[in-house]
Amino acid sequence: MKNAELIEALRLNYIEYFSLFHGQHGIRTHVDRETAWIVANGPPGNHILRSNLPAVEAEEKIDALISRIGALTGGIRWLLFPQDRPQDLRARLSQRGLSSGRGDLWMFRPLQQVADNRHHSQLRISPVRDKPGLRAWWTASALGFGTTQRAAQPWYDAFRRRGFGPKVHVTNYIGHLDQKVVTTATLILARGIAGIYDLSTLPDYRGQGFAGALVNHLLEQGRQRGYSHAGLQTGDAEQFYQSLGFKTGFQEEEFFWAADYSEK
């Protein structure tokens, strides 16, 4: 896959990830051929993930989208991707006063060969197959991200609702050291790429190779299921993922819309 194809595949995988949250805790997601967005007003955030607007109607479409989003929230992050249209969307958003910035790195790795040098002899990795396992994942994931289980409740409910089993394309993984869950992650096999999300390790167990072993296990799972590439997003772990064979292929370009409170 070429870099542009990898970016688009991971974007579609990313949309699959956010779609898991729709309809719970007041979270709204919308996906059609022109746009894709999520409004959560809390975790996992407010994001516009696709803009494929016909040039002849772009002004009206942009204003309609902002109006619809404005009825649900006071602010959102609008991500721009190479495949977004119209091609001058960046200028159109700037003209509306949206501020811009740079976000997470998108990193990719081919799966033809997955090195086994990250195997950890003491770590037992297994997929979550039932609600008790998901509760263990949820508890450890919240601790790893330094948040509360209450704040992480949307993840538990999204994955519980999705279900379990080998035919499900969304799978949570846990890494046990003895009887304790010390590292967690999520694997989404969809849209032609293996997407890795939610990687965390308990603070007291970092620096011991557990996260690397878990990522390597997920890469092998993707390879065994016939996927040629894996991808993920990261804000501050580029060197860690480079050590696992990932290369940066894209950095998010963000625009930020905020409601004009004089209009409220």
**Residue 176, in any domain of the structure:** yes
Residues spanned by the domain of 35 = 3-105+251-263
124 with 194, same domain: the answer is yes
Helix (H) or strand (E) holding 102: strand 99-110
Which pLDDT value is given to residue 117?
Answer: 63
Rg (CA), the chain: 19
175 with 99, same domain: the answer is no
187 with 203, same domain: the answer is yes
Which pLDDT value is given to residue 167?
Answer: 73
Tens-digit pLDDT profile for the chain (264 aa)? 999 999 999 999 999 999 999 999 999 999 999 999 999 999 999 999 999 999 999 999 999 999 999 999 999 999 999 999 999 999 999 999 999 999 999 999 999 988 776 778 899 999 999 999 999 999 999 999 999 999 999 999 999 999 998 778 999 999 999 999 999 999 999 999 999 999 999 999 999 999 999 999 999 999 999 999 999 999 999 999 999 999 999 999 999 999 985 444
91 with 130, same domain: the answer is no
Query: Looking at residue 96, which CATH number applies to its domain?
Result: 3.40.630
Total domain count for the chain? Answer: 2
**pTM assigned to the model:** 0.94
177 with 218, same domain: the answer is yes
Strand ranges for 191-246 from DSSP E: 193-201, 229-234
Which pLDDT value is given to residue 35?
Answer: 98
178 with 125, same domain: the answer is yes
**Residue 161, in any domain of the structure:** yes
Which pLDDT value is given to residue 114?
Answer: 85
13 with 81, same domain: the answer is yes
98 with 117, same domain: the answer is no
94 with 142, same domain: the answer is no
172 with 199, same domain: the answer is yes
| Dihedral, CA of residue 22, residue 26, residue 29 and residue 30, to nearest 10 | 120
**Residue 185, in any domain of the structure:** yes
**Residue 245, in any domain of the structure:** no
Q: Which residues contact 117 (CB under 8 A, 6 or more apart)?
A: none
**Residue 244, in any domain of the structure:** no
**Residue 80, in any domain of the structure:** yes
Q: Which residues contact 70 (CB under 8 A, 6 or more apart)?
A: 259
CA-based angle 9:48:43, to the nearest 5? 100
Which pLDDT value is given to residue 168?
Answer: 82
**Residue 8, in any domain of the structure:** yes
**Residue 11, in any domain of the structure:** yes
118 with 222, same domain: the answer is yes
Query: Looking at residue 216, which CATH number applies to its domain?
Result: 3.40.630.30
Which pLDDT value is given to residue 262?
Answer: 40
55 with 144, same domain: the answer is no
